[in-house]
Chain A
Amino acid sequence: MMPAMAQLQFCVLFLVYVATQCTSTNVDTVSSGINIKNVDRTIDISSQLVKITSKVTLENTGKSPVKNFLLAVEGTGKAKLAFIGTKDGNNKDLRNVETDVKGNDDAKFWRVDLKESINAGSTASVVVETVYTKALQPYPTSITQQEEQLVKYLGNLYFYSPYPVSSQKTNVILNTKAVETFTKVKPFLQLDGSISYGPYSNTAAFTEKELVVHYKNNSPFLTVTRLERLIEVSHWGNIAIEETIEVEHTGAKLKGPFSRYDYQQDHHSGPASVRSYKTLLPASASDVYYRDTNGNISTSNMRVKKDSVELDLRPRYPLFGGWRSHYTLGYNVPSYEYLYYSGNEYLLKMRAVDHVFDDMQIDELITKVILPEGTTNIKANFPFAVTRLPDSLHYTYLDTKGRPVITFTKTNIVENHIQDFQLRYSFPRILMLQEPLLVVGFLYTLFLCVIIYVRLDFSIHKSEHPHKD
């Protein structure tokens, strides 16, 4: 399909890309001149995600100014970590880079570059936000229709850090009073919907202590196991987006029968089941469709709001633990909001992934961008590390040599990943005329053929018109 030259070029590009990816892992050492003065940690486990926000006050106890510091995630949590973000005291994003530390192969490290270096003896405060997926284990793993869903959170009682911490407090938000058991390390306090621990003073670097909370959590445990996002760019003013979504209820599995009677009579029946959820689309989204392989799913509502289009999606059936569903959601947006150009150079700026439901977790994301036919010099820029798959070609109406398709994939996605990617490419505008000309040319030839056929007699001998009767 692809011309050999382009293939070769692509291969080289890909190799260079892979090579740069490989060399980007750095090696750092833990500086002994940093001490953490205070940590104020909030662990939000009221949804299916574990969202930890830590306000960290760094102190430079060394002699020289500190330009960067390290963040660490324990070995048990690193596979479940979906997102890590850092902000400084003014709520400005700080750049963090994944790094390695010799002698600590178990944990995972990030180096955070500060905007202004901390001078010796002074302090700086940083906000660290981490999101974990699948860190809440349903326990028991299967429940009947009427039972509440209980989950277990296993975490670290202390802020995990390569630096010693002078003082720390942790607040666990549950949004429920129904707590079966929880780790009791004094001082602690159980409030209405939360448990607070601490303050604990002087914990050494890399301290781990198990924190277990076993509690009721009936919030939707929905996982998007696979999301394929297809963005088709047209230079005629439209961008079509189609998302093929596979959803699974990953909470406690349904044990025993499903009773429609109970489900209908009693609205508290099936507390852990998911009847519907909301998807937010861009405000300019139009022509929304919601269907699966068997056709339209008629149970949905759409509300156009000021800053978004809110879809109230109901799967064909309520989702209980272990039940799956899949559907396709598509819509159009006008291209002027996302496509910028100057001359023949274009810039596409779109979300790599969009909102599916609140507190979503996506196991696998595949985004495909179909660019117009004749596009060259494609340069992509992603907001987070993705795996770019080989480019391919897509053929649709009136295509002759195919449209280039950029494909990239990423696993373990949460809402914090709703960010824009950028694609720069060049497209000679004259090519816009190709398709109309093709149609005109085809019709012209067709009519010409008909005219020639009708005007000329092709028969070998003149027929006699034998009359019947």
Chain B
Amino acid sequence: MTTLAEPDLGNGRNKPIFNNTTGFSTLITVTVLLLAWLAGFASRLFAVIRFESIIHEFDPWFNYRSTAYMVQHGFYNFLNWFDERAWYPLGRIVGGTVYPGLMITSGSIHWLLHALNIPIHIRDICVFLAPVFSGLTAISTYLLTAELWSRGAGLFAACFIAIVPGYSSRSVAGSYDNEGIAIFALQLTYFLWLRSLKTGSVFWSICTAISYFYMVSAWGGYVFIINLIPLHVFALLIMGRFSQRLFVSYSVFYIVGLLLSMQIPFVGFQPIRTSEHMAASGVFALLMAVGALQYLHSLNPKGQWKKLLIVGGLMAAGLVFLMVVFLTYIGVIAPWSGRFYSLWDTAYAKIHIPIIASVSEHQPTTWSSFFFDLHVLVCTFPVGLWYCVKNINDERVFVTLYALSAVYFAGVMVRLMLTLTPVVCVLSGIAFSILLDLLLRDDDLPTAPVEPNDKNLYDKAGKVKKRAPEPTSQADFGLGMNVRSGALIAFMILLMLFSVHCTWATSNAYSSPSIVLASYGNDGSRKILDDFREAYGWLSQNTAEDARIMSWWDYGYQIAGMGNRTTLVDNNTWNNSHIALVGKAMASNETAAYDIMTMLDVDYVLVIFGGAIGYSGDDINKFIWMVRIAEGEHPKDIHEADYFTEKGEYRVDSEASKTMLNCLMYKLSYYRYDSGGSPPGYDRTRGALPGNRGFKLTYLEEAYTTEHWLVRIYRLFEMFITSVPTDSVVYDFLTVLAKRIENFMMIAAGCGSRLS
């Protein structure tokens, strides 16, 4: 961090060598950005160093699998890919239900490297993609902040974003997810938007639209951009800051961006058909109206146009709003989706969509997690915000809106912390830059950063030599030497603590691959628990190629990615009724579950059981969500209350309810579980002795259990041939067949109704 102070300090000293300051500050900028890239990259490698180069968690496995598919089969086959290994028996049209930006990015890197005969495996590209992009994010944040305030602030912001835990939580090596590249695209789009707004040039607007296109291809969070930029335009209109530059940049961006975004198969016609996107078109219409009125005004500046302008503008706004409401009412425009709606009403998901509420990262953010993810920045960013509001201009209106909306969204959902982090870094960068400006300015140094107005034609870097506007007033000059150095040291310590915290948080909280667990012995020795891969490896080698595995949806992507087997449900939770059916099977007793499982053609059932090693994220702990989701679709058969004790406790020991003790999930978790310390069969996760023990399974048999009991796989017995009179075999076969077909129709109808 100390390097940042050098442009001001070092100028005089190094004058003999660097006789132009622009060259020197370019060098400093490039060096700092490179170092930020390096630091950001390095601090994300904990998982690779501690474990190995491996894809983490759940969603990244799907991304990796589809990237590998694309690399192997080509881009067009990827777009047309129908994945029959997922959502059995429905399958999934991957090309049309995925944001392909991530796969295309790593696919092109792979292609480029292989064209240069650099044989890097696609897995390693996927693993290291997010850390590499963190450097690009730092650079785009630098550009954005430099556009807003000054280059010094930009360097601060770049350094912050490179290591801040709120961003590295989603971009450590191996966390191959959309967010890794999306934040880069987000920052770049905002930078380009501000640049285009400033210059009013069509070129920059088109650049913004292209960057927006990349963002759309990469992450569903593009909706944030397409609402924030119109909001910015709208705010500017209200503030009376309409200009030709605004008119040109927004109309070009909106039209080109709209057309480009509709090229993504997954997005399709959504930008003109859904409420999430209506703000953008509404503002566009409004801008057109205001532009027309302005034009009329310019024809006759002396007329009574001012009033007309205001009234006409308001009327246009009202008209556009009513139009949207009307179109939504008659059904041309889809209303807000549940996910979007849950942003406004935090209790909405809990009541209506348990599947969204069941995901831990969709919970509201706690204060501690704000501090954990942003540390000192959470305190300094209001300072930057205040300075931006104080010295307002068109761009700073934008960053203010960005900050306010992002703070709201981050408060609603832990996951959206990610959108807050960049703006916090930008504003904190501004705050620190102002502070250092204040503290480091020598009273008696008139020669300090005076731009030599060199007209050196050969120096390209000279184009960007403009300095930040001095935001401080004359009153600041009264600070004494001691106060200055004291404050300086205090802030340096703060920054140091910040970087220590960032490294610590990234290393301890966000660098666990979660498919490989490590436990530490008393002597500090490390023991690796590799049960997940053990089980998936077993599945991939020792089951039939087309075997269908039933598990809770969390493990769907991993089974497909590592086990290479067909799953019923996975992390792409598009079909709630199908998930509810699996939940119902898990929550029913063995006989009822067997009917559901045969209906779904299940061959194996996989459950995660952490009782032997005390792993708390196992299926029994998630089970209550399975019950809730199942109850949502099958309220007649499943009742949440049945799974609690009479006092309303969730237990597994002998106090537990009968339904609980006899449901499939319980039985599969505790079947023949008699080991694990004393007393035998003790469940370490829940600290209880299971209530139902020594039972036998009728319809399933244990196929495999991993070394630490973490993953248990059961095989379904073949169709039970019940005592059927021989003469009615044919008839019986037909009825079974008819029942099968009926079941398929039911499932298909279920998914159809979901889709529409």
Residue numbers of A with Cβ under 8 A of B are: 256-261, 264-265, 292, 294-299, 316-317, 322-326, 395-400, 453-457, 463, 465-469
Contacts and interface: CB of A to CB of B under 8 A. Distances in A.
B369 interface: no
B528 interface: yes
B147 to A, nearest CB: 9
Interface in B518-545: 528, 530, 533-534, 536-538, 541-542
A226 B54 CA distance: 26
Nearest to A260: B705
Q: Which residue of B458, B459, B530, B715 has the most chain A CB atoms within 10 A of its CB atom?
A: B530
A400 B117 CA distance: 8
A316 B461 contact: no
A301 B466 CA distance: 62
A447 to B, nearest CB: 14
Interface residues of B, number: 43
B528 A298 contact: yes
A298 B530 contact: yes
Given A296-B52, A326-B541, A456 B118 contact: no
A259 B541 contact: no
A295 B675 contact: no
B119 A397 contact: yes
A396 to B, nearest CB: 5
A317 B702 contact: no
B704 A317 contact: yes
Given A298-B530, A299-B530, A463 B463 contact: yes
Contacts of A463: 463
B562 interface: yes
Contacts of A317: 534, 537-538, 704, 706
B339 interface: no
B469 interface: yes
Interface in B85-129: 117-119
Contacts of A264: 675
A261 B709 CA distance: 9
Nearest to B538: A317
A326 B536 CA distance: 13
A260 B118 CA distance: 44
Contacts of A324: 541-542
Contacts of B463: 463, 465
Contact of B542 (A260, A323, A468): A323
Given A325-B541, A465-B466, A261 B703 contact: no
Contact of B536 (A294, A297, A397): A294
Nearest to A397: B118
Contact of A260 (B117, B541, B702): B702
Contacts of A316: 530, 533-534, 537-538
Contact of B466 (A400, A457, A467): A467
A468 B538 contact: no
Contacts of B674: 261
Nearest to A295: B54
Contacts of A454: 459-461
A295 B52 contact: yes
B475 interface: no
Contacts of B119: 395-397
Shortest Cβ-Cβ A-B pairs, 9 listed: A260-B705, A257-B701, A316-B537, A257-B702, A298-B528, A395-B117, A295-B54, A324-B541, A296-B52
A325 B703 CA distance: 16
A292 B537 contact: yes
B297 interface: no
5 contacts: A261-B672, A261-B674, A323-B541, A395-B117, A398-B117
Contacts of B650: none
Contacts of B715: 257
Nearest to A317: B538
A294 B68 CA distance: 13
Contacts of A395: 117, 119
Nearest to B529: A298
Contacts of B46: none
Q: Which residue of A316, A399, A456, A463 has the most chain B CB atoms within 10 A of its CB atom?
A: A316
B393 A469 contact: yes
Contacts of A456: 458
Q: Which residue of B119, B537, B702, B712 has the most chain A CB atoms within 10 A of its CB atom?
A: B537
B703 A257 contact: yes
Interface in B428-458: 457-458
Nearest to B673: A261
A56 B742 CA distance: 74
Nearest to A327: B537
Contact of B562 (A265, A294, A297, A397): A294
B495 to A, nearest CB: 28
Contacts of B199: 466
A316 B533 CA distance: 8
Nearest to A326: B541
A265 B674 CA distance: 10
Nearest to A453: B460
Given A261-B675, A295-B54, 14 more contacts: A257-B703, A258-B704, A258-B705, A259-B705, A261-B673, A294-B533, A316-B530, A317-B534, A317-B538, A325-B537, A397-B119, A454-B461, A457-B458, A469-B393
Contact of B533 (A259, A295, A322, A323): A295
A119 B229 CA distance: 104
Contacts of B466: 465, 467
B469 to A, nearest CB: 6
B740 interface: no
Contacts of B701: 256-257
B198 interface: yes
Contacts of A258: 702-705
A468 B199 CA distance: 10
Contacts of B53: 295
Nearest to B702: A257
A356 B300 CA distance: 92
Contacts of B516: 295, 298
Interface in B356-401: 393
Given A465-B463, A467-B466, A259 B702 contact: yes
A259 B709 CA distance: 11
Contact of A265 (B54, B393, B675): B675
B457 A457 contact: yes
A465 B542 CA distance: 68
Contacts of B706: 260, 317
A259 B672 contact: yes
A468 B460 contact: no
Interface in B652-673: 672-673
B114 to A, nearest CB: 8
A457 B460 contact: yes
Interface in B489-506: none
Q: Which residue of B53, B675, B705 has the most chain A CB atoms within 10 A of its CB atom?
A: B705
Contact of A469 (B118, B469, B562): B469
Contacts of B533: 294-295, 316
Q: Which residue of A260, A322, A400, A454 has the most chain B CB atoms within 10 A of its CB atom?
A: A260
Contacts of A400: 117
